[in-house]
Structure 1
Amino acid sequence: MSEGTLKSYIDGEWVLPATSTDIVTATNPATEEICATVAVCGHDDVDRAARAARAAFDGYAAMSLDDRIALVENLIAIFERRYDEMVTAISTEMGAPYDLSYNSQAECGPGHLKETIAAAREMEWERKIGSNARLVREPIGVCVLITPWNWPVNQLAAKIGPALVAGCTMILKPSEVAPLSAQLFAEFIDEAGFPAGVFNMVHGTGPAIGDALTSHPEVDMISFTGSTRAGIQVAKSAADTVKRVSQELGGKSANIVFADSDLPASVKRGVLHCFENAGQSCNAPTRMLVEASVYDEAVAIAAETAKAAKLGDPMEKGRHFGPVVSKLQFDKIQRLIQIGIDEGAQVVAGGVGRAEGFNRGYYVKPTVFAGVHNKMAIAQEEVFGPVLVMIPFKDEAEAIEIANDTPYGLAAYVQSGDMERARRVSRRMRAGGVSINGAGQDYASPFGGYKQSGNGREWGEWGLHDFLEIKVINGFEG
């Protein structure tokens, strides 16, 4: 293996795999050049990491909350000092444009960690319950954290932060597609001074070590973010040892646009939100449901917005979109765009093929489909690219019916000038989070979904709950 090959981090040491000599390479999606070489772990490395996490658990769990928070505050300070390194890593490995990496992608790290600390300080860790009992919250144990490539730091911080604060020990398996940000995060943790074995990171692929992680007898809890297909396999693998499994999976989020909304603003905002991060966000508003009386006008606005969207180099500042993460992802998106065309949907912007002006890089044309109905594959399958489908509806009841007619339930969006209607509709949408008229979500709000979008919730206080057990001690108050 070359000197620059990325190592794993086990029991406080940077290590190469014990027996495996396999490597995988990550590609810069803007240049199609290799940006990282990763040494792939095997089952023996997973076992070593699990045993290290188990050995460290009792001591770390017994540490005071204040002491654990102090270590996480060290981590935040190191992250902020090396912030620009993280921005560069994200833009290099998965193609997020510089402004998005700086303002949103990397910012998720300190943002989530600070909110987790605030939630922990406000949480009631112990309290009297009933006449003579004490309710106690305790760390669940050894956790496996499996994170994706699309918002890498967001998922690292949303899992690692609460696990560390709660008193858990852990094994991280980051995406092999985007390993640079995880490598930096692990360096920050190493520098912050956590006891050896509290945090471990094993590089590898799902097929190679996923099952070994999720079925390991020393592991108590799995936190997984990824596709619904992979999430099903994780749950099956964890079932034999009855582990807690928390999952944030796919989405096909509806954005209901009523005629009484500010139509130009609502449609443009929805299109740009769909295309943000090259459409590679599980909560992207990829189905725009538009009231029939303004449907044609909305389609024209959406097409104009998409045609005006600029693509560019992820390393450059400015308001532009980047490439999708890989050739595999590019090819999948092209296939689904072609399926939409074959189904009879109308391409009003974009379409198949590499975006104009680029002879390399996985740049997808920002694409808008009109004339779509909700039974089409492009209205049901998660494309995970800059592809928007526009579906007309006749009234509020039909809008809600279409919005909920999906196996997913992660996010939903409502645009209306009538706040009473917006509130009423939002209550009936089967999704873990609903945004009205462009409202954002802060780090204190729970994030997660209904149905095949997963179970459990991340962020803030709710993120801590997944890493805690509840114990009742009867007679404690006697």
Structure 2
Amino acid sequence: MRDYAKFYIDGMWVDPVNPAWMDLVDPGTEEIHGRLALGGREDVNRAVIAARRAFTAYAGTSVDERKQLLRRILDVFTRRFDEFAEAMRLEMGSPIAFAKKGQAPRVPLHVNVLLDVLEHFSFEEDRGSTRLRYEPVGVCGLITPWNWPVNQVIVKVAPALAAGCTMVLKPSEYSAVSALLIAEVMDEAGVPPGVFNLVNGGGPEVGAAIASHEDIDMVSFTGSTRAGIEVARAAAATVKRVAQELGGKSANILLDDVKLDDAVRRGVSGCFTNSGQSCSIPTRMLVPRKMMAEAASIAAEAAQTYRVGPTDREDTQLGPLVNESQFMRVQDFIRRGIEEGAALVTGGPGRPEGLEKGYFVRPTVFSDVTPDMTVAKEEIFGPVLAIIPYDSDDEAVAIANGTSYGLAAYVQSSNPDRARGLARRLNGGQVHINYPPPDFAAPFGGFGRSGNGREWGEAGLREYLETKAMIGYGAGQ
């Protein structure tokens, strides 16, 4: 068992001012594997002072210097790749195969896209006689969740570095081990002191201190809509920029011309990504009413093939949920689905057979779900699929858009023009047509209660920039 007792502030590993301690639990075994020191407002203030002191010098670095820094970060991360995969397996229950193939590779994918953006991005441009200049927003507070630990950190840290910002990172306390490895990478790569700082702690203590701090110019938050509302409230008094990527309840519309077997199986796979612990995955499958019975049968068969088990086995496809609280929450959603009359076609309450320990959930599929049911409205964050019937394309769009969320949407059709037409009508920051491969240069973010602002690629870089208009700059030339 190991104690994770230090924070990274001003280029040094330092002790918290007045630490509290939290046990770190392996969600696959329910065994304690370490202790994490949690900080508070005093630690945040130390980190902000360091970031503010470093800002002017770092903001003045050239784009080439920042690109070189990102390449060094990438080199160090690549060398330590397996450490990150193992950390995510241990701390949040990612099966080791998915940690290596799905979680950890996100870092080089995002950094390489950002390096490509920097090759062509103009930090100054002329519009008539006005010169537009894009400058770093300042000191940034970055608050990240546990479900995609290194991905969510890098899509904030990397563009902030690329823009010339300095920062204070608060990762989730449930994924702090991989975040501390990120801090080690930053240190080894030669990030200047004070540019990157890390303080561990809970949301009500460290998160609130970051959001309300008068010397932080921007806060970028990823997490639940409920927590995002509190971040925005805390930030309002200082009128800082707030960028948020929040919850989702994404619809996956299967039109009546699809190859149903393939479309349903791929939809189940999407819903079960990361054991269902993702905000943008297709958790509502909308199918023509006449296809409901067949779609439910295919989905049940597909779900039953998933291997749920120990996270250190290479053939495990679904690991545990992150902690006991999340496990109990998902169990409650499954019970409510049954009580409200959804047809349970596979899965259900309890652990999968043969798993006595760990926060494992049975892969679950409900059919004949109506839009007013809880499992159709609430973000569950577990391997639970709700299949909803519809009678027309217009009704499918109405059901898909009939939610307060708007992070992503999906549409499947053998007719690309029909799919494109429907995609234009869906409310979502990303609309995926016919199960496309990921595009890490595409803006990522949501409508409505799924947040504001965008991450990934050029859109992510722009979030960390202020626009200055120098009017008359070109006059008289």
- Compute the TM-score of the two structures, normalised by the length of structure 2: 0.98
Q: Distance in 1 between matches of 2:115 and 2:286?
A: 39
Q: Which residue of 2 aligns with 1:75?
A: 73
Shift of 1:10: 0.6
Equivalence map 1:270-309=2 (5 Å): 270-309=267-306
Question: Quick check: 1:466 aligned with 2:472?
Answer: no
Distance in 2 (alpha carbons) for counterparts of 1:21 and 1:178: 18
Q: Hey, what's the Cα distance between the residues in 2 that align with 1:280 and 1:311?
A: 15
CA distance in 2, matches of 1:249, 1:370: 27
Shift of 1:36: 3.1
| Aligned equivalent of 2:34, options 33, 36, 54 | 36
CA distance in 2, matches of 1:6, 1:182: 13
Q: Secondary structure at the match of 2:74?
A: helix
Residue 294 of structure 1 deviates from its aligned partner by: 1.1
* Counterpart in the other structure of 2:53: 55
- The aligned counterpart of 2:347 is 350
Distance in 2, Cα, partners of 1:244 & 1:337: 38
The answer to whether the 8 Å contact 2:55/2:139 transfers is yes
CA contact (8 A) 2:412 2:433 kept: yes
Q: Helix, strand or coil for the counterpart of 1:36?
A: strand
In the alignment, structure 1 residue 175 sits paired with structure 2 residue 172: yes
Deviations 1:90-117 (A, max 9, x none): 1111111122111120011111111111
Structure-1 residue corresponding to 2:310: 313
- The structural deviation recorded for 1:80 is 0.4
Structure 1 runs (4+) deviating above 6 angstroms are none
Q: How does 1:327-476 map to 2 (within 5 A)?
A: 327-476=324-473
Q: SS state of the match for residue 286, structure 2?
A: strand
- Indicate yes or no: 2:30 matched with 1:7: no
Q: Distance in 2 between matches of 1:360 and 1:58?
A: 52
Q: Which residue of 1 aligns with 2:86?
A: 88
Deviation at 1:35, TM superposition (A): 2.7
Which is worse superposed, 197-206 or 298-307? 298-307
Partner in structure 2 of residue 121 of structure 1: 119
Task: Show structure 1 runs of 5+ residues with no match.
Answer: none
Aligned-partner residue type, residue 292 of structure 1 = R
Moved more, 149-158 or 4-13: 4-13
Deviations 1:242-279 (A, max 9, x none): 11000000000000012210100000110111112110
2:10 maps to amino acid: D
Name 1:146's counterpart in structure 2. 143
- Equivalent pair of 2:268/2:302 in contact (CA under 8 Å): yes
Asked if the contact 1:36–1:180 (Cα under 8 Å) also holds between the matched residues in 2, the reply is no
Shift in Å at residue 27 of structure 1? 1.3
Matched, 1:215 2:212: yes
Q: How many residues align?
A: 475
Measured in 2, the distance between the counterparts of 1:471 and 1:216 equals 24
In 2, Cα distance between the equivalents of 1:454 and 1:23? Answer: 32
Q: Distance in 2 between matches of 1:407 and 1:428?
A: 16
| Structure 1 residue aligned with 2:235 | 238
Aligned partner of residue 286 in structure 1, secondary structure:
strand
**Cα separation, 1, equivalents of 2:221 and 2:141:** 8
Distance in structure 1 (CA, Å) of the matches to 2:176 and 2:52: 25
CA contact (8 A) 1:63 1:167 kept: yes
Aligned to 2:272, the other structure's residue is in SS state helix
Percent pairwise identity: 51
Q: Partner of 1:238: helix, strand, or coil?
A: helix
Instruction: Quote the residue 1:194 is aligned against.
Output: 191
SS in 1 for 2:278: coil
Q: Any conservation in 1 of the 2:307–2:315 contact (CA below 8 Å)? A: no
Letter in 2 for 1:413: Y
Q: How far did residue 338 of structure 1 move?
A: 0.6
Looking at structure 2, the residues matched to 234 and 440 of structure 1 have their Cα atoms a distance apart, in angstroms, of 33
How far apart, in 1, do the equivalents of 2:434 and 2:295 lie? 16
Give the C-alpha shift of residue 124 in structure 1: 1.5
> What's the CA shift for 1:297?
0.5
In the alignment, the residues of structure 2 paired with residue 6 and residue 421 of structure 1 have an alpha-carbon distance, to the nearest angstrom, of 56
* Post-superposition offset of 1:3: 6.8
Report the AA paired with residue 120 of structure 2: E
Shift of 1:440: 2.4
Q: Is the 1:36–1:179 contact (alpha carbons within 8 Å) kept by the matching residues of 2?
A: no
User: How far does the alpha carbon of each residue in 1:352-373 deviate from its partner, in whole angstroms, 9 at most, with x for none?
Assistant: 0111110101110000011210
Q: Tell me how far apart the structure 2 counterparts of residues 83 and 202 of structure 1 sit (CA, whole Å).
A: 23
Q: For 2:88 and 2:437, locate their aligned partners in 1 and report how far apart those are by CA, in whole Å.
A: 22
Question: Does 1:165 pair with 2:173?
Answer: no
1:317 offset after TM fit, Å?
1.3
- Judging changes above 3 Å, is the alpha-carbon distance between structure 1 residues 319 and 268 closer, same or farther for their aligned structure 2 residues? farther
**Whole-angstrom CA distance in 2 between matches of 1:21 and 1:139:** 33
Deviations 1:42-93 (A, max 9, x none): 1111101011000000000001111111111100000001111111111111
TM-score if structure 1 supplies the norm length? 0.98
Provide the residue aligned with 2:322 in structure 1: 325
Structure 1 position 6, deviation (Å): 3.5
Which stretches in structure 2 are left out of the alignment for 5+ residues? none
Paired residue type of 2:258: S
Contact 1:223 1:246 (C-alpha < 8 Å) held by counterparts = yes
Structure 2 letter corresponding to 1:53: A
Give how far 1:319 is off. 5.3
Question: Per-residue deviation at 1:214?
Answer: 0.5
How far the C-alpha of 1:406 sits from its partner, in A, is 0.6
User: CA separation in 2, counterparts of 1:319 and 1:202?
Assistant: 33
CA distance in 2, matches of 1:125, 1:463: 14
Match of 1:170, SS? strand
More moved, 403-412 vs 436-445: 436-445
What residue is the counterpart of 2:110 in the other structure?
112
